[in-house]
Structure 1
Amino acid sequence: MRIKMKPAGLSMAVALALAFGGSAYAQEVVKIGYSGPLSGGAALYGKNCLMGMEMAVNEINAKGLEVGGKKYKLEIVSLDDKYNPSETAINTQRLIQQYKTPAVLVPHSGGISAVQAFNERTNTLLLGYTSLPQITERGNKMTIRIPPDFSIYVKPFTKIEMDKFGKNGAVAGGDHDYAKAWTALFKQTWEASGGKVVADNPMSYNKSTDFYSGVSKVLQAKPDVMFIGGASEPTALVAKQARDLGFKGGFMIMDQAKMDEMAKVLGGLAPLEGSVGVLPLVADPRPNAKLFVTNFHKANPDRDPSSEIALNYTAVHATAIAMKLAGSVTDGKAIRAQMDKAFKTLPPENNPQEIEGLDAKGGTEANVLMGVVENGKIKDVSLRDTNAGK
């Protein structure tokens, strides 16, 4: 006997089928973790990193992510670590255990080091946003270094500043781990180039907003060049304090700080005249960068994209491609094994700073540009085009 189902009953049956069989229709969610500074002195830096990740996820989800014949939706789970490595370790363990993240992005060297104590054991891909070469030299097979190695900057930066201003250099950088590594190489390179380090007074960029006493102490040694650097906002305040106290020399700016962001705090580039640092993305003349900046401005007309935004955006796009190539969204080892190929196959619009792939240890390789402030404008110079960078 055939039983005819009434419309109401049919609707109920469909609803129940969808409720109990929803997994056949809905996308599965894959979470990528983030632990970085979202409060405190480095908050702008941390939020820029996170913004790049979120931009990439939105684009990937809009196009659709299919891995191994199944459709997935990406989500970012972000936790504030206040630039504290111990908090980073706690956050990352939570991201792995509670949210089952196959990959976690950490944007500071101290936090990356803390996570490297256990990420291999959990087969978690660690996306490290720091240009500190040591994070890939340790042999951690599950780590990717997103920016190129910072040591490529130090020699050309030194030559430019020493030739222009003189041989007396001073350290007025941050006191966090990354700044310490930069400071050590700055001092070594400066002295090897015939210069003299006349003052060494690192300061707490992530905790202080008043740098008067620290900068005054440095200027008593009458330096020609000051090495400064941490997050952009406190770095700008250090530069402003130095100018207010009469410093006429040049600034050698650590790559964590961005001159375009510093200019917003300083009211323009004039206080940075003669300085050298990494080239702001908006000043990059290459086609990929111009395309990214144009697309970014369409959605964000009142602000410029930073390299943190761009590079972390690229890293997440590469991770999604690596998942496709690996045929898995959960196997961290398989995803890591495909990251080099993923970077090499990125579409131009997803690779604004033209990452060319990974070296044998997991660090990105690229033709990096530096910026020099001349007559109130930023001039781009390729490190590959200067003998000083070799």
Structure 2
Amino acid sequence: MLLLGACAQGSGGNSASNVVTIGYTGPLSGAAATYGEKTLRGLQMAVEEINENGGFEVNGEIYTLQLESLDDKYLPNETAANAQRLVQEHQTPIIYSPHSGGIMAMQVFNEQEGFIIGGYSSEPAITEQGNTLTVRIPPSYHGYLEPFTDYAKERFGTRLASIPPVTQYGQDWANALLPHWESAGGEVVHKASVDFSKDTDFFTILTNALEHNPDVLFIGGPSEPTAKLAQQARELGFEGGFIIMDQAKLDEMKTITGGSYELFEGAVGVTPLIYSDFPGTPQFIEKYREKYKEDPGSESGYHYMSLFIFVEAMKAAGTVEDVEKIYAHIQDGVEALPEDKQVYIYEKIDETGGFVQQMRVAAVENGEIVQIKVDE
């Protein structure tokens, strides 16, 4: 397994006992490695910034952070094994995972083992199962179903071919979108799935889908393979629209396929972070670009912001160890988050553990990103 650590001591001669270890388990190799690295970068930036500023104070004690990360190759069983290791070796009060399969694998035992799951997945099921120590960091994808459907159907037509990834997340997304598409008067003309861990040439999958003359393709997953799937669809003559699951980002897809949005004309997806205008967005983008020489995605922004919220929750709870108290003060963390850390704006954390925020939707029109109004 790949083990990456980031540790910095604050000023004042703090002892090792005043270091709080944050865990991460995600895909750092394989087809989703780029996605995993982007999620991890947000945490690394937050840890470095907190430590460089002298750490944080809880009940008169100064603490710094250490980040321990493990590669799970996007496999839920690896996520569970990694989480056990992180708890046993590092007593991590919080463990992040950026995929629903891994989050659900940890939910089997996180309450008993005593750690909070920082779940980076818009899958609503992760906070609907009653787990008392799970936080869903991005908004639920249910909020995207109506605007994505309305835009694609009105612009291109009613015939949809569905090609989500084989992951639990991809299948759950499809199981939510397809009935909504049909209830809105659309027709699902083809259903298939793609395994990005094995498939690199999508000719057969796409040929079978395009034989049904769809107006819209539903695709998604990590940005890199999603972009290549869309590109090959165009090469095979598809001229319709794309509904892009929220894991893939339009700006990242553009970079992967040569730097132009024209290939994705008519695609509808989440608004890329670089087109957002929240109070802390410009500062975060500047820091990220300086450090990594590229634009940040929402994965990095959400992880960065969420760790500051967890630190504020520890301050409000008066503990870095009692995870139930920390969890109970996450709303305090939301309210105490400094404006320059508000890469997004959370309204609150709801009763199930999901952060609530306004949905942001964008589409590609005439080779440019445009914002799509979403009714709240």
Whether the 8 Å contact between 1:226 and 1:250 is mirrored in structure 2 is: yes
- The answer (yes or no) to whether the contact 1:284–1:380 under 8 Å persists in 2 is no
**C-alpha separation in 1, matches of 2:191 and 2:38:** 30
Residue 236 of structure 1 aligns to a residue in which SS? Answer: helix
**Secondary structure of the structure 1 residue equivalent to 2:198:** coil
Q: Report whether the alignment pairs 1:295 with 2:287.
A: yes
SS at structure 2 position matched to 1:98:
helix
The 8 Å contact of residues 40 and 207 in structure 1, kept in 2 or not, is answered as: no
* Deviations 1:102-140 (CA, angstroms, capped at 9, x unpaired): 110011000000000000112211110000001101010
> Identity percentage over the alignment?
43
2:228 maps to amino acid:
L
Q: How far apart, CA to CA, are the structure 2 residues paired with 1:290 and 1:108?
A: 27
Contact 2:264 2:364 in 1 (8 A): yes
CA distance in 2, matches of 1:88, 1:47: 16
Query: 2:191 is matched by which residue type in structure 1?
Result: D
Contact 1:41/1:208 (CA < 8 Å) preserved in 2? no
Deviations 1:243-283 (A, max 9, x none): 00000000000000001111011112111001100000011
Q: Does the CA-based 8 Å contact 2:43-2:304 persist in structure 1?
A: yes
Name which of structure 1's ranges 44-53 and 352-361 shifts more when overlaid on structure 2: 352-361
2-side partners of 1:105 and 1:162: how far apart?
36
Instruction: Write out aligned runs for 1:1-390 (5 A).
Output: 25-26=14-15, 28-63=18-53, 64-267=55-258, 268-300=260-292, 302-383=293-374, 386=375
The residue matched to 1:121 in structure 2 has which SS? helix
More divergent stretch after superposition (87-96 vs 278-287): 278-287
Structure 1: which 5+ runs fail to align? Answer: 1-22
Would you say how many aligned residue pairs link Structure 1 and Structure 2?
362
- Tell me which amino acid in the other structure corresponds to 1:222: N
SS where residue 144 of structure 1 aligns? strand
Contact 2:161 2:214 in 1 (8 A): yes
What's the CA shift for 1:148?
Answer: 0.6
Q: Which amino acid aligns with 1:49?
A: T
- TM-score, normalising length: structure 1: 0.90
For 2:9, the equivalent position in structure 1 comes to none
Task: Note if contact 2:14-2:62 (Cα within 8 Å) is conserved in structure 1.
Answer: no
> Which whole-Å deviations, capped at 9, do the CAs of 1:307-337 have from their partners, x for residues lacking one?
0000011111111111111111111111111
Bigger Cα displacement from structure 2, 198-207 vs 234-243: 198-207
Matched-pair contact (CA < 8 Å) for 1:322–1:335:
yes
Offset of 1:25 from its aligned partner? 4.8
8 Å contact 1:174–1:229 — kept in the other structure? yes
Q: Distance in 1 between matches of 2:308 and 2:155?
A: 41
Match of 1:329, SS state, is coil
After superposition, the CA RMSD in angstroms is 1.4
TM-score (norm 2): 0.94
The residue type equivalent to 1:44 in the other structure is T
- Deviation string 1:353-389 (CA, Å, 9 cap, x unpaired) is 1122201111001112111101111012342xx3xxx
Provide the secondary structure at the position in 1 that maps to 2:296: coil
Conserved 8 A contact 1:36-1:82: yes
1:174-198 CA distance string (max 9 Å, x none): 1100010110111101100101000
Return 5+ residue gaps in structure 2 as ranges: 1-11
Which 10-residue stretch deviates more, 204-213 or 99-108? 204-213
